[in-house]
Structure 1
């Protein structure tokens, strides 16, 4: 699940000790019980009861808590449900917060929770988790994928032989689809992976073909099959045409939105709160196409993105003119009721 709100939002962060505005935010990410801001300077300010239980409403600079002072410049931050993950400029992955399922990569009996970032793995290029998930994936520079955390529904894609509820040590995912891993989004009990086919013959003006693969289980059968999927398996739908490609996708707790190059918005899964945008609250076990709203900034679909909270969804543009929406999001982010209404 994509837990980021908006890259490049102008949001100032004040250091309580110096009362100095640090800089503008590069990325905001939200979990079920945490919020984090990555600044342009490479600092991460975060809050949450599993991050700073003494004052869960106070933002603290968690990147400054990394023991290695040469590893405190952060280039990406990802929220899990009760944990936050940091990727440093040195390509090292750290975790902070809850570790009940081993989602920080350590035995939870010896490390139930941590209030400082703990080094999980080196030589990492990407971190994937979700704002309703207790599992995480780490991708290294050799395109090797590792996972840990909650696996009660086989959401780590480890196969039938690994049915443990908790995977408390980073474990290599042996069977992954061929191609380049572009993204992995994690729901509560499932994961969806976007793969780009690097070997497929393409015309000069065509983008490489992208496919979705899923594992785990949707309570509402949102993957179109009423069964557990123990390994990453290709997601297929008759709505995808031969000339259609996946531009973007996003995963909520139990719902999914997919945006395609043929201007299709495909949705499925839980719809109890109307998060699928179908105009009703009927759950969709089979993917359906819904009509795109009138595009606000321009008609180029490639400039648009979808983003899911736990029970809400957004369609937004990467166009730089964001003034009104930007202001609304900042106000929303600062509200105490933010988590209740957004996710």
Structure 2
């Protein structure tokens, strides 16, 4: 059961895929021709393990399987054959760390969270996004240990910054801070080669952090406030992806009359320099850069403050909790994907590996749900 809206090419949101049936089968990739190349065969082999998550950055793609293996490709992952998927989790030196719980992609690097709550990085370290100085690593095609005792990793498809959250909600950051997108304050230098703990984080549970080229947005949940979820931004306001009209060197709340007391933020996503928000009342809100129509306004005017987007009638809008947003580099998607069933996105996943502007997609199969 899929419903996908596409934003871009100077058009208002349009429905590009709408299927009435619930799909519960395990993923099987389909191709337009019978002559499969080696990479397509690799993807089919990977899919036999049940794909848990797919991520894509500017220079890499990675697949996490239900068995905890990670297959990745890219010029800074496998320089000899950048179009070939390789099992990067098997390259981790410590065999006890080779079961991966989660993967996150930055622009030029991939981060792996192991079952032991350790974080490994692979790819480029040219902006110190792997938390080492350049004298130690500039590029690495083998995962290197970045930090231990981590519960979540946050980055972005065009980002060279990374945030790492400990189990007791301590937040650390390193990498590119040229525009203040790490939220470390005005006095911090442009590049952070070592993990630094962020201060002055608003009280509450950190749900998500996403970074674009020049800004980052954090979602915090607090059961004692109304609405219980709030967004905070930091970085450069150049195209107003911050939702405010000035730079923010620390995470600062995004305020708007569109965020009502009886409404709550359901989902959000950050692209290159634009941001989309979906609320529990079905409001789609966007702001930031819009030269490709990625805000869904039907024009190319940048939006300095959050605005509500007019949507076509959605077939499944009575179940808004199953809608999700994904921002690519200069486009955006709103799609229906119930977490209890596998969404039939095979063709879209194939396109994801061919087009860098596509965005992160994750899902669970029926078998995983039952387990």
Secondary structure at the aligned position of 1:147 is classed as: strand
Within the alignment, does 1:322 sit opposite 2:322 as a pair?
A: no
Q: TM-score, normalised by structure 1?
A: 0.89
For residues 273 and 172 of structure 1, do their structure 2 counterparts lie closer, same or farther at Cα, with a shift above 3 Å needed? same
Corresponding residue for residue 202 of structure 2:
177
* Structure 2: runs of 5 or more not aligned: 1-24, 30-38, 361-371
Does the 8 Å CA contact 2:26/2:342 hold for their aligned counterparts?
Answer: no
Equivalent in 224, 227, 241 of residue 222 of structure 1: 241
Give the CA deviation at 1:92: 0.6
2:166 is aligned to 140
- Please state if 1:196 is matched with 2:215: no
Answer whether contact 1:311 1:342 (CA < 8 A) is retained. Answer: no
Q: For the residues of structure 2 that align with 1:66 and 1:321, how far apart are their CA atoms?
A: 30
Partner of 2:12: none
Instruction: Return 5+ residue gaps in structure 1 as ranges.
Output: 1-7, 203-207
- The answer for the alignment partner of 1:3 in structure 2 is none
Q: Does 2:148 match 1:131?
A: no
1:187 has 2:212 as partner: yes
Spell out, residue by residue over 1:271-300, the C-alpha distance to the aligned partner (whole angstroms, 9 max, x if none).
111111111111111211012232244521
- Which residue in 2 is equivalent to 1:280? 299
Q: Which runs of 4+ in 1 moved over 3 A?
A: 11-16, 19-22, 340-343
Name which of structure 1's ranges 52-61 and 293-302 shifts more when overlaid on structure 2: 293-302
Deviation at 1:236, TM superposition (A): 0.4
SS of corresponding position for 1:330: helix
Provide the alpha-carbon RMSD of the alignment: 2.2
SS in 2 for 1:299: helix
- Tell me how far 1:224 sits from its aligned partner: 3.5
Q: Partners of 1:46 and 1:240 in 2: how far apart?
A: 39
Question: In 2, distance between residues paired with 1:101 and 1:64?
Answer: 26
How far did residue 214 of structure 1 move? 0.7
Aligned pair partner of 1:166 in 173, 182, 191: 191
SS in 1 for 2:103: strand
1:10 to 18, 22, 27: 27
Q: TM-score, normalised by structure 2?
A: 0.82
3-state SS of 2:151 partner? strand
Contact 1:218–1:254 at 8 Å: present in 2 too?
Answer: no
Contact 2:56 2:353 (8 Å CA) reproduced: no
Q: Distance in 1 between matches of 2:40 and 2:294?
A: 34
2:46 and 2:283 mapped to 1: Cα distance? 46
1:108-138 superposed Cα distances (whole Å, 9 cap, x missing partner)? 2321111111111111000000000000000
